Amino acid sequence: MNAFRRQAINEFIQANGRATYDDLMMLYPDVSCMTLRRDIEALEQEGLVVRVRGGARSVTSISADNDDKYAIRAAANVGPKTEVAQKVLEYIEPDHSLYFDSGSTVMLVANKLTNLYFSITTAAPNIAMELLRKNRITVNLLGGRFNRDTIAVSGISAIEQVNSLNIDIAVMATSGFSADCGFTSGEYDEVQLKKAVIKRARKVIMVMDSSKLGKALQYTFATLEDIDMIVLEKEPDAETLELCQKHNVTVVY
Protein backbone atom coordinates (compact mmCIF):
# COMPACT_ATOMS: atom_id res chain seq x y z
CA MET A 1 0.00 0.00 0.00
CA ASN A 2 2.83 2.38 0.89
CA ALA A 3 4.52 1.81 -2.46
CA PHE A 4 1.31 2.51 -4.40
CA ARG A 5 0.62 5.66 -2.39
CA ARG A 6 4.15 6.95 -2.84
CA GLN A 7 3.99 6.29 -6.55
CA ALA A 8 0.74 8.25 -6.75
CA ILE A 9 2.19 11.10 -4.70
CA ASN A 10 5.23 11.23 -6.96
CA GLU A 11 3.02 11.31 -10.06
CA PHE A 12 1.00 14.17 -8.54
CA ILE A 13 4.15 16.17 -7.78
CA GLN A 14 5.66 15.53 -11.21
CA ALA A 15 2.43 16.62 -12.90
CA ASN A 16 1.99 19.77 -10.81
CA GLY A 17 5.59 20.68 -10.10
CA ARG A 18 4.96 20.69 -6.36
CA ALA A 19 2.60 19.59 -3.59
CA THR A 20 1.94 20.94 -0.13
CA TYR A 21 1.16 18.72 2.82
CA ASP A 22 -2.33 20.24 2.77
CA ASP A 23 -2.70 19.00 -0.82
CA LEU A 24 -1.63 15.51 0.19
CA MET A 25 -3.90 15.42 3.24
CA MET A 26 -6.83 16.29 0.99
CA LEU A 27 -5.85 13.45 -1.34
CA TYR A 28 -5.34 11.02 1.55
CA PRO A 29 -7.61 12.12 4.44
CA ASP A 30 -7.17 8.79 6.23
CA VAL A 31 -3.36 9.03 6.25
CA SER A 32 -1.56 10.97 8.99
CA CYS A 33 0.59 13.98 8.16
CA MET A 34 3.58 12.20 9.72
CA THR A 35 3.13 9.27 7.35
CA LEU A 36 2.87 11.63 4.38
CA ARG A 37 6.08 13.33 5.51
CA ARG A 38 7.80 9.95 5.56
CA ASP A 39 6.50 9.31 2.04
CA ILE A 40 8.06 12.59 0.88
CA GLU A 41 11.33 11.74 2.64
CA ALA A 42 11.39 8.36 0.88
CA LEU A 43 10.79 9.99 -2.51
CA GLU A 44 13.57 12.48 -1.80
CA GLN A 45 15.94 9.63 -0.96
CA GLU A 46 15.21 8.24 -4.43
CA GLY A 47 16.08 11.60 -5.98
CA LEU A 48 12.55 12.13 -7.31
CA VAL A 49 11.52 15.17 -5.28
CA VAL A 50 13.06 17.82 -3.04
CA ARG A 51 11.54 18.71 0.29
CA VAL A 52 10.72 22.40 0.72
CA ARG A 53 8.90 24.30 3.44
CA GLY A 54 5.37 22.94 3.66
CA GLY A 55 5.73 20.18 1.09
CA ALA A 56 7.87 19.08 -1.85
CA ARG A 57 8.82 20.07 -5.38
CA SER A 58 9.77 18.00 -8.39
CA VAL A 59 13.44 18.04 -9.37
CA THR A 60 12.54 19.24 -12.87
CA SER A 61 10.63 22.24 -11.53
CA ILE A 62 13.57 23.22 -9.34
CA SER A 63 16.02 22.83 -12.21
CA ALA A 64 14.03 25.45 -14.09
CA ASP A 65 14.30 27.85 -11.14
CA ASN A 66 17.61 29.69 -11.21
CA ASP A 67 17.08 30.93 -7.63
CA ASP A 68 17.16 27.46 -6.06
CA LYS A 69 20.71 26.31 -6.79
CA TYR A 70 21.18 24.56 -3.45
CA ALA A 71 18.05 22.44 -3.95
CA ILE A 72 19.31 21.34 -7.36
CA ARG A 73 22.58 20.16 -5.84
CA ALA A 74 20.78 18.54 -2.92
CA ALA A 75 18.65 16.51 -5.33
CA ALA A 76 21.69 15.17 -7.20
CA ASN A 77 23.17 11.76 -6.30
CA VAL A 78 20.94 11.38 -3.24
CA GLY A 79 21.51 7.62 -3.03
CA PRO A 80 25.33 7.79 -2.93
CA LYS A 81 25.25 10.76 -0.53
CA THR A 82 22.97 8.83 1.81
CA GLU A 83 25.38 5.87 1.79
CA VAL A 84 28.26 8.21 2.64
CA ALA A 85 26.30 9.82 5.48
CA GLN A 86 25.48 6.43 6.98
CA LYS A 87 29.13 5.36 6.92
CA VAL A 88 30.34 8.59 8.57
CA LEU A 89 28.23 7.93 11.67
CA GLU A 90 30.55 5.07 12.66
CA TYR A 91 33.40 7.56 13.15
CA ILE A 92 31.59 10.29 15.09
CA GLU A 93 31.88 9.88 18.85
CA PRO A 94 29.59 11.47 21.47
CA ASP A 95 30.89 13.90 24.11
CA HIS A 96 33.13 15.53 21.51
CA SER A 97 33.31 18.96 19.94
CA LEU A 98 32.36 18.67 16.26
CA TYR A 99 32.23 20.95 13.26
CA PHE A 100 29.75 20.27 10.46
CA ASP A 101 30.57 21.91 7.13
CA SER A 102 27.82 23.15 4.83
CA GLY A 103 26.58 20.97 1.98
CA SER A 104 23.93 18.41 1.12
CA THR A 105 25.97 15.36 2.17
CA VAL A 106 26.70 16.83 5.60
CA MET A 107 23.01 17.72 5.86
CA LEU A 108 22.25 14.00 5.52
CA VAL A 109 24.80 13.25 8.25
CA ALA A 110 22.97 15.72 10.52
CA ASN A 111 19.66 14.07 9.67
CA LYS A 112 20.92 10.60 10.56
CA LEU A 113 22.96 11.56 13.63
CA THR A 114 21.84 9.85 16.83
CA ASN A 115 20.41 12.07 19.57
CA LEU A 116 23.43 11.83 21.88
CA TYR A 117 25.48 14.45 23.67
CA PHE A 118 27.45 16.40 21.09
CA SER A 119 28.54 20.01 20.80
CA ILE A 120 28.34 20.88 17.11
CA THR A 121 29.33 24.11 15.38
CA THR A 122 28.25 24.82 11.82
CA ALA A 123 28.14 27.65 9.30
CA ALA A 124 24.97 26.27 7.71
CA PRO A 125 21.62 27.47 9.15
CA ASN A 126 19.73 24.55 7.59
CA ILE A 127 22.06 22.05 9.25
CA ALA A 128 21.72 23.88 12.57
CA MET A 129 17.93 23.64 12.30
CA GLU A 130 18.15 19.92 11.54
CA LEU A 131 20.37 19.35 14.59
CA LEU A 132 18.04 21.36 16.84
CA ARG A 133 15.45 18.59 16.42
CA LYS A 134 17.69 16.49 18.71
CA ASN A 135 17.51 17.87 22.23
CA ARG A 136 20.77 16.40 23.55
CA ILE A 137 22.89 18.17 20.94
CA THR A 138 24.31 21.61 21.70
CA VAL A 139 24.24 23.61 18.46
CA ASN A 140 26.48 26.60 17.73
CA LEU A 141 25.77 28.60 14.56
CA LEU A 142 28.49 30.86 13.18
CA GLY A 143 27.62 34.37 12.08
CA GLY A 144 28.73 36.11 8.91
CA ARG A 145 27.75 36.93 5.35
CA PHE A 146 24.99 34.60 4.15
CA ASN A 147 25.23 32.93 0.73
CA ARG A 148 21.77 31.85 -0.43
CA ASP A 149 23.24 29.57 -3.11
CA THR A 150 25.11 27.41 -0.58
CA ILE A 151 22.93 28.06 2.51
CA ALA A 152 26.05 28.98 4.49
CA VAL A 153 27.72 31.92 6.17
CA SER A 154 31.35 32.96 5.75
CA GLY A 155 33.60 35.98 6.13
CA ILE A 156 35.94 37.50 8.70
CA SER A 157 33.57 37.24 11.66
CA ALA A 158 32.95 33.53 11.02
CA ILE A 159 36.70 32.88 10.76
CA GLU A 160 37.35 34.76 14.00
CA GLN A 161 34.79 32.58 15.77
CA VAL A 162 36.39 29.41 14.38
CA ASN A 163 39.84 30.56 15.50
CA SER A 164 38.65 30.39 19.11
CA LEU A 165 37.31 26.83 18.79
CA ASN A 166 38.95 23.55 19.76
CA ILE A 167 37.45 21.02 17.34
CA ASP A 168 37.78 17.29 17.94
CA ILE A 169 36.28 16.17 14.62
CA ALA A 170 35.50 18.28 11.55
CA VAL A 171 33.14 16.74 9.01
CA MET A 172 34.00 18.59 5.82
CA ALA A 173 32.53 18.63 2.31
CA THR A 174 34.11 19.36 -1.05
CA SER A 175 32.91 20.22 -4.53
CA GLY A 176 35.77 18.33 -6.15
CA PHE A 177 38.99 16.39 -5.62
CA SER A 178 41.89 15.86 -8.00
CA ALA A 179 45.49 14.73 -7.62
CA ASP A 180 46.80 18.06 -8.90
CA CYS A 181 44.49 20.50 -7.09
CA GLY A 182 43.42 18.65 -3.95
CA PHE A 183 40.03 19.50 -2.42
CA THR A 184 38.37 22.44 -4.13
CA SER A 185 35.38 24.77 -4.04
CA GLY A 186 34.05 27.60 -6.18
CA GLU A 187 33.33 30.00 -3.29
CA TYR A 188 36.38 32.03 -2.21
CA ASP A 189 35.04 33.21 1.17
CA GLU A 190 33.87 29.74 2.11
CA VAL A 191 37.26 28.32 1.17
CA GLN A 192 38.91 30.65 3.70
CA LEU A 193 36.51 29.43 6.38
CA LYS A 194 37.16 25.79 5.49
CA LYS A 195 40.92 26.38 5.82
CA ALA A 196 40.43 27.91 9.27
CA VAL A 197 38.29 24.98 10.42
CA ILE A 198 40.82 22.40 9.23
CA LYS A 199 43.62 24.17 11.11
CA ARG A 200 41.61 24.01 14.35
CA ALA A 201 40.50 20.37 14.02
CA ARG A 202 42.22 17.43 15.66
CA LYS A 203 40.69 15.06 13.08
CA VAL A 204 39.30 15.92 9.63
CA ILE A 205 36.82 13.64 7.85
CA MET A 206 36.12 14.54 4.22
CA VAL A 207 32.76 13.32 2.92
CA MET A 208 31.98 13.10 -0.78
CA ASP A 209 30.34 10.85 -3.32
CA SER A 210 32.45 9.45 -6.14
CA SER A 211 31.08 11.98 -8.67
CA LYS A 212 33.45 14.53 -7.08
CA LEU A 213 36.58 12.54 -7.97
CA GLY A 214 38.63 14.03 -10.80
CA LYS A 215 36.91 17.42 -10.52
CA ALA A 216 38.73 20.66 -9.76
CA LEU A 217 37.06 23.98 -9.03
CA GLN A 218 38.64 27.41 -8.76
CA TYR A 219 39.94 27.41 -5.18
CA THR A 220 41.86 24.78 -3.20
CA PHE A 221 41.16 24.60 0.54
CA ALA A 222 42.97 21.38 1.50
CA THR A 223 45.32 18.66 0.31
CA LEU A 224 45.59 15.05 1.45
CA GLU A 225 48.20 16.16 3.99
CA ASP A 226 45.51 18.20 5.76
CA ILE A 227 42.95 15.45 6.35
CA ASP A 228 42.71 12.11 8.13
CA MET A 229 39.88 10.26 6.41
CA ILE A 230 37.83 10.24 3.20
CA VAL A 231 34.39 8.63 3.17
CA LEU A 232 32.83 7.60 -0.16
CA GLU A 233 29.97 5.34 -1.19
CA LYS A 234 32.18 3.01 -3.23
CA GLU A 235 35.82 2.15 -3.82
CA PRO A 236 37.68 4.97 -5.61
CA ASP A 237 40.02 4.50 -8.54
CA ALA A 238 43.47 2.99 -8.03
CA GLU A 239 45.26 6.35 -8.38
CA THR A 240 43.19 7.93 -5.61
CA LEU A 241 43.72 4.93 -3.34
CA GLU A 242 47.46 5.03 -3.92
CA LEU A 243 47.62 8.76 -3.19
CA CYS A 244 45.67 8.32 0.03
CA GLN A 245 47.90 5.47 1.17
CA LYS A 246 50.97 7.59 0.43
CA HIS A 247 49.64 10.37 2.69
CA ASN A 248 48.32 8.02 5.41
CA VAL A 249 44.71 8.98 4.74
CA THR A 250 42.13 6.35 5.69
CA VAL A 251 39.64 5.64 2.90
CA VAL A 252 36.21 4.32 3.92
CA TYR A 253 33.79 2.97 1.31
Q: Is there a single domain that holds both residue 130 and residue 212?
A: yes
Calculate mean pLDDT across residues 102-109: 93
The pLDDT value recorded for residue 183 is 99
Q: Which domain holds residue 33?
A: 2-64
CA–CA separation, 101 and 115 (whole Å): 19
Q: Is residue 72 part of a domain?
A: no
User: Tens of pLDDT along 161-215?
Assistant: 999 999 999 999 999 999 999 999 999 999 999 999 999 999 999 999 999 999 9
Q: What percent of the chain has pLDDT over 90?
A: 78
Q: Where would I find the H helices in 57-122?
A: 59-63, 69-75, 78-88, 104-112
CA nearest neighbour of 125 among 157, 150, 162, 92: 150
User: Tens of pLDDT along 108-154?
Assistant: 999 899 999 999 999 999 999 999 999 999 999 999 999 988 889 99
Q: Is residue 7 part of a domain?
A: yes
Q: Is there a single domain that holds both residue 85 and residue 15?
A: no
> Which residues are CB-contacts of 232 (< 8 A; sequence separation ≥ 6)?
84, 208, 209, 210, 251, 252, 253
Q: pLDDT tier at 66 (50, 70, 90 boundaries)?
A: very low
The domain total for the chain is 2
- Predicted TM-score of the model (pTM): 0.75
Q: Is there a single domain that holds both residue 109 and residue 43?
A: no
